[in-house]
């Protein structure tokens, strides 16, 4: 048998087994005793169409929160990871602070950090403290996710073999030059997939900001659901979140592949 026909056979089998699997699951669900009721409250096409424009508009706030937070997180987390990788006793206090920060913000539930900052900071009534709940939601997400993402970066830095740094230093590069040009570029490339995981987590957690009152997609769907006693708006919000996640995931796969290809490329 040729490789081509074997490949085609594999595709056929995959398609068939997928169809069978989902047919069975579909039958099981639609024959459940409560299905008619669930379908009416969760999968009402009319409700879906009616609620989605407004939820989509609210979802733009999620995207905005995500984009702003992510930009800060990528930079701050890298700084934190670098601080934790500083060698020598001089930097001991900074390393300790870095560790304490990462432990604290990975330990406290995100929703608590959001609540504490979102309700607490404005309550101080300081004239220079912004009152916007969205602002404080973003700050909370940045604080929490910086802790996670710095761990990802750190794992990347540690995965670069010390001989790379030794080679750079042996050529007369300073610690910073070696870090910037040799260690970090390799470290960051390696952690793109886990980094994306955290991106996706962050994207979902933007919904937590709704807890403070900011009308993002989840909050909007809550409002809609409460008005119509129908939960279809939640499904609409879920569809929007997933729709953003999938291209992000495919994009990372592509980045990883491109990097691998390029490293093995022979130039022209």
Partner 1 sequence: MSEALVVDGLHKSFGTLEVLRGVDLAVAEHEVVCLIGASGSGKSTLLRCVNLLEPIDQGRIVVEGEEITAPGVNVNRIRRRIGIVFQAYNLFPHMSVLRNVTLAPTLALGTSRVQAEAEAKELLSRFGLADKRNDYPDSLSGGQQQRVAIVRALAMRPDLMLLDEVTSALDPELVAEVLEVIRELAAGGMTMLIATHEMGFARDIANRICFLDEGVILEQGPPEQMLTEPKEPRTQQFLQRIINAGRL
Task: Write out the binding residues for partner 1, residues 70-99 only, by CB under 8 A.
Answer: none
Residue 266 binds partner 1, judged by CB under 8 A: yes
- Max alpha carbon distance in the chain (Å)? 77
Q: 250 or 260: whose CB is closer to partner 1?
A: 260
Task: Please report how close the Cβ of residue 101 comes to partner 1 at its closest, in angstroms.
Answer: 29
Task: Please report how close the Cβ of residue 257 comes to partner 1 at its closest, in angstroms.
Answer: 15
Q: 17 or 159: whose CB is closer to partner 1?
A: 159
CB atoms within 10 A of CB 32: 11
Task: Please report how close the Cβ of residue 157 comes to partner 1 at its closest, in angstroms.
Answer: 14
Residue of 77, 68, 74, 137 whose CA lies nearest to 101: 77
The site that binds partner 1 (CB under 8 A) totals a number of residues, namely: 24
Q: 12 or 174: whose CB is closer to partner 1?
A: 174
Q: 23 or 174: whose CB is closer to partner 1?
A: 174
| Binding test (CB under 8 A) with partner 1, winner from 1, 3, 246, 268 | 268
Residue 5 binds partner 1, judged by CB under 8 A: no
CA distance 258 to 219: 39
Task: Write out the binding residues for partner 1, residues 153-212 only, by CB under 8 A.
Answer: 163-164, 166-174, 177, 181-182, 185-186, 189
Backbone angles phi, psi at 172, to 5 degrees: 95, 5
| Burial profile 167-205: b = 16 or more Cβ within 10 angstroms, e = fewer | ebeeeebeeeebbeebbbebbbebbbebbbebbbebbbb
- DSSP category for residue 267: -
Which residues are within 8 A (CB) of 207 and not within 5 positions of it... i.e. 6 or more apart? 62, 216, 217, 218, 237, 241
Task: Write out the binding residues for partner 1, residues 6-35 only, by CB under 8 A.
Answer: none
Residue of 221, 213, 259, 267 whose CA lies nearest to 48: 221
Q: 26 or 185: whose CB is closer to partner 1?
A: 185
Tokens of 50: 């009616």
CA distance 122 to 135: 10
Residue 264 binds partner 1, judged by CB under 8 A: yes
Q: 127 or 163: whose CB is closer to partner 1?
A: 163
Site mask for partner 1 (CB under 8 A), range 31-70, x = bound = ----------------------------------------
Q: 247 or 267: whose CB is closer to partner 1?
A: 267
DSSP secondary structure letters along 193-224: HHHHHHHHHHHHHGGGGGGGT---HHHHHHHH
CB atoms within 10 A of CB 231: 19
Select the span of 28-36, 108-116, 221-229, 257-265 touching partner 1 (CB under 8 A): 257-265
- Residues lying near partner 1 in the complex (CB under 8 A) are found at 163-164, 166-174, 177, 181-182, 185-186, 189, 262-268
């Amino acid at each position: 048998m040729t490789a081509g026909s074997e490949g085609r056979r594999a595709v056929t089998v995959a398609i068939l087994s997928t169809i069978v699997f989902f047919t069975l699951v579909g039958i099981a669900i639609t024959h459940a005793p409560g299905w008619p009721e669930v379908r009416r409250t969760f999968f009402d096409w009319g409700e879906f169409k009616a609620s989605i424009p407004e939820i989509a508009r609210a979802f733009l706030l999620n995207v905005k929160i995500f984009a702003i937070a992510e930009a800060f997180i990528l930079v701050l987390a890298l700084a934190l990871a670098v601080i934790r990788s500083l060698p020598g006793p001089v930097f001991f206090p900074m390393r300790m602070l870095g560790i304490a920060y990462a432990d604290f913000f990975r330990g406290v539930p995100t929703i608590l950090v959001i609540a504490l900052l979102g309700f607490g900071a404005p309550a101080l009534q300081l004239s220079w403290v912004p009152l916007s709940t969205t602002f404080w939601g973003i700050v909370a997400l940045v604080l929490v996710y910086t802790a996670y993402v710095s761990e990802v970066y750190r794992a990347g830095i540690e995965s670069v073999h010390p001989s790379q740094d030794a080679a750079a230093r042996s050529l007369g590069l300073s610690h910073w030059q070696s870090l910037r040009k040799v260690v970090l570029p390799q470290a960051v490339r390696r952690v793109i997939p886990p980094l994306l995981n955290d991106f996706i987590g962050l994207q979902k957690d933007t919904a937590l900001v709704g807890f403070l009152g900011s009308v993002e997609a989840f909050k909007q769907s809550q409002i809609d659901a409460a008005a119509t006693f129908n939960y279809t708006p939640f499904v609409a919000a879920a569809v929007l979140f997933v729709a953003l996640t999938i291209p992000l995931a495919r994009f990372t796969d592509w980045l990883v592949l491109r990097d691998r290809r390029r490293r093995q490329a022979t130039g022209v």
